[in-house]
Amino acid sequence: MADGTIIADEALREEVRAWLADNWKGLERSRPTPGGAGWTTTPEHRDWLAKVVEARWAVPRWPIEWFGRGLSDAQARIVEREFAAVGAPGTGQDRSNLWANTALAFATPTFKAKIVPLLLRSEVAMCLLYSEPGAGSDLAGVRTRADRQGDHFVVNGQKVWTSGAATADYGMLIARTDWDAPKHSGISFFFLPMKQPGVEVRPLRQITDESHFNEVFITDAVVPAENLLGPLNGGWRVLQTALAYERSVMGEGARGPRSGVRESVGEEPLIALAREAGVLSDPLIRQEIAKVIAWKRLNALNTARAKADLGQGTSSPVMSLGKLAMSRILHEEARVRTLILGPESLLEGPNHPRAEDANFLTLNAYFTSIGGGTDQIQRNIIGERVLGLPKEPEVDRDVPFRQVRGN
Ligand SMILES: Cc1cc2nc3c(=O)[nH]c(=O)nc-3n(C[C@H](O)[C@H](O)[C@H](O)COP(=O)(O)OP(=O)(O)OC[C@H]3O[C@@H](n4cnc5c(N)ncnc54)[C@H](O)[C@@H]3O)c2cc1C
């Protein structure tokens, strides 16, 4: 222990352990909201988060003046490992809380002081108001407009595929604020208050028979000027950072089965399923399971590398690699589940939870291959920004947006 870092690490580990021993008593699991509109945090969960924030474990990498401890990535991981060891949530939000990270990097001081603690304590629900009927992969083509009027902006337009909009308090909104600038340079980024008369949310039904995402119609909605993130017309850069955080979260995993059947902790779910189904000694099944596990491990290492690249307010194209890999892994994992179950996978319903899970996971894998930017778009990003290949031609890139065809 001659090395000072090792002693500091050990002291930190002891401090977290002691704090968890004094404070962590376990939590009831969060429950889905009625109507399947999403997941809600319970008051008990929020009380726990408030304690974690107050004790400065929520965002240990952040500066001290912003609820953090200014720890290095390696030390913050010590905190995360101790929380994980007892199953306590709430730390690591400096990596995973895309809303709070985006606000910390770009919000005005007044708005930051108001919103960041609420976000860390999950006291406000959020959604992403990016995609529009005519702007998905090409987000720079958004036509929703925000016009300045005194101390606020008035917003008009339509968004679509907005996950969680039905329960959200705020939406992170991209809207056009300059129609004479080229398309990437006339966009601004706002925190739009959702609970106001000008915001109408209509649910959409998904292939999984759930309704997590929505259409959002915005008519003369008002957003205070202090809710602008980054400079006016500088929203594209804010968006890149927010998207990188989103991709990093999606690159780490996705929802598990929905049957409510608990999967054995610590054991790879595919191995447990194959054992239960009596096919664990089948050489073909073993080979397929091994392939999925190898990909998962490799992706975890790659995601850790990408996160190390992601300083405050920057974006890493390597996140796209993790998200693309996770999309492939989820499809493969679902295929191997189906292979393990054989004809049983044709069944459905509460009496056949294993088949229900296999089918749900097969359909839900598309969430990761489309949401947060499609697989094809991640490939473009990797090609252009990681491998340095020539850019796709973009004929409308330098043209004032007003003159782009369709406007
Ligand atoms: C489960 C889910 C949740 C979502 N949640 C949200 C949300 O909360 N907020 C939000 O704003 N959006 C959300 N989305 C929308 C999502 O971000 C868009 O669907 C996605 O970006 C694709 O846009 P699009 O649907 O308009 O498809 P398009 O952009 O029209 O693409 C159609 C097809 O063309 C391909 N394509 C397009 N451009 C290129 C190109 N340049 N090179 C190669 N191929 C290309 C695409 O890969 C795709 O296969 C969600 C989507 C899903 C599936």
Map 387-400 to HEC letters. CCCCCCCCCCCCCE
Give the mean pLDDT of 54-64: 96
Output the pLDDT for position 133: 96
The residue with greater pLDDT, 371 or 249, is: 371
Alpha-carbon radius of gyration of the chain:
22
315, pLDDT greater than 60: no
Output the pLDDT for position 7: 59
Q: Which of 99, 126, 137 to mutate to test the pocket of ligand 1 (most atoms within 8 A of CB)?
A: 137
Output the pLDDT for position 261: 47
Give the mean pLDDT of 292-319: 76
Looking at 125-134, 205-214, 244-253, which range is the least confident one?
Answer: 244-253
Atom number, ligand 1, closest to the C-alpha of residue 392: 41
Helix count (H) and strand count (E) of the chain?
A: 12, 8
12, pLDDT greater than 60: yes
Is the CB–ligand 1 distance for residue 130 below 6 Å? yes
Atom number, ligand 1, closest to the C-alpha of residue 374: 47
Atom number, ligand 1, closest to the C-alpha of residue 380: 42
Output the pLDDT for position 348: 86
Q: pLDDT category, 319, cuts 50, 70, 90?
A: confident
Own/partner contacts of 398-404, CB < 8 Å, gap of 24 or more, are: 398/182, 399/182, 399/183, 400/179, 400/180, 400/181, 400/182, 401/176, 401/178, 401/179, 401/180, 401/181, 401/182, 401/183, 401/186, 402/179, 402/180, 404/141, 404/183
Looking at 307-311, 317-321, 332-336, 398-402, which range is the least confident one?
Answer: 307-311
Give the mean pLDDT of 282-289: 98
Quote the CATH superfamily of domain 126-233.
Butyryl-CoA Dehydrogenase, subunit A, domain 2 (2.40.110.10)
Cα gap 33→257, rounded to integer Å: 17
Q: Are strands 152-163 and 228-229 parallel, antiparallel or unpaired?
A: unpaired
Output the pLDDT for position 6: 60
Give the mean pLDDT of 339-362: 93
Q: Which of 194, 370, 375, 378 to mutate to test the pocket of ligand 1 (most atoms within 8 A of CB)?
A: 370
Give the tens place of pLDDT for each residue, 261-273.
444 446 789 999 9
Give the mean pLDDT of 4-33: 81
Q: Which of 139, 161, 218 to mutate to test the pocket of ligand 1 (most atoms within 8 A of CB)?
A: 161
CA angle 362, 363, 365 (to 5 degrees): 70
Q: pLDDT category, 249, cuts 50, 70, 90?
A: confident
Is the CB–ligand 1 distance for residue 33 below 6 Å? no
Q: Whose CA is nearest to atom 26 of ligand 1?
A: 136
Cβ atoms of 117 and 67 within 8 Å: the answer is yes
Output the pLDDT for position 259: 53
Q: pLDDT category, 202, cuts 50, 70, 90?
A: very high
- Annotate 59-81 with b (16+ C-beta within 10 A) or e (fewer): bbbbeeebbbbebeeebbbbbbe
Percent of the chain scored above 90 by pLDDT?
Answer: 71
Is the CB–ligand 1 distance for residue 42 below 6 Å? no
Give the mean pLDDT of 125-139: 95
Cβ atoms of 251 and 325 within 8 Å: the answer is yes
Range(s) of the chain covered by CATH 1.20.140.10: 253-386
Q: pLDDT category, 392, cuts 50, 70, 90?
A: confident
26, pLDDT greater than 90: no
CA angle 132, 138, 141 (to 5 degrees): 65
Sign, CA dihedral 291-295-301-304, equals negative
Is the CB–ligand 1 distance for residue 369 below 6 Å? no
Q: Whose CA is nearest to atom 35 of ligand 1?
A: 376
| Average pLDDT of the chain, as a whole number | 89
Range(s) of the chain covered by CATH 2.40.110.10: 126-233
The residue with greater pLDDT, 263 or 381, is: 381
Q: How many Cβ atoms are within 10 Å of 21's Cβ, its own excluded?
A: 9
Output the pLDDT for position 361: 94
Q: pLDDT category, 38, cuts 50, 70, 90?
A: very low
Q: pLDDT category, 29, cuts 50, 70, 90?
A: low
Expressed in angstroms and rounded, the spacing between residue 258 Cα and the centre of ligand 1 is 25
Is the CB–ligand 1 distance for residue 99 below 6 Å? no
CATH of domain 253-386: 1.20.140.10
* Both structure tokens of 22: 């004094």
Cα gap 403→176, rounded to integer Å: 14
Atom number, ligand 1, closest to the C-alpha of residue 373: 21
Output the pLDDT for position 2: 41
Q: Whose CA is nearest to atom 3 of ligand 1?
A: 371
Residue 3 backbone phi and psi in degrees, to 5? -75, 120
260, pLDDT greater than 90: no
Output the pLDDT for position 406: 73
192, pLDDT greater than 60: yes
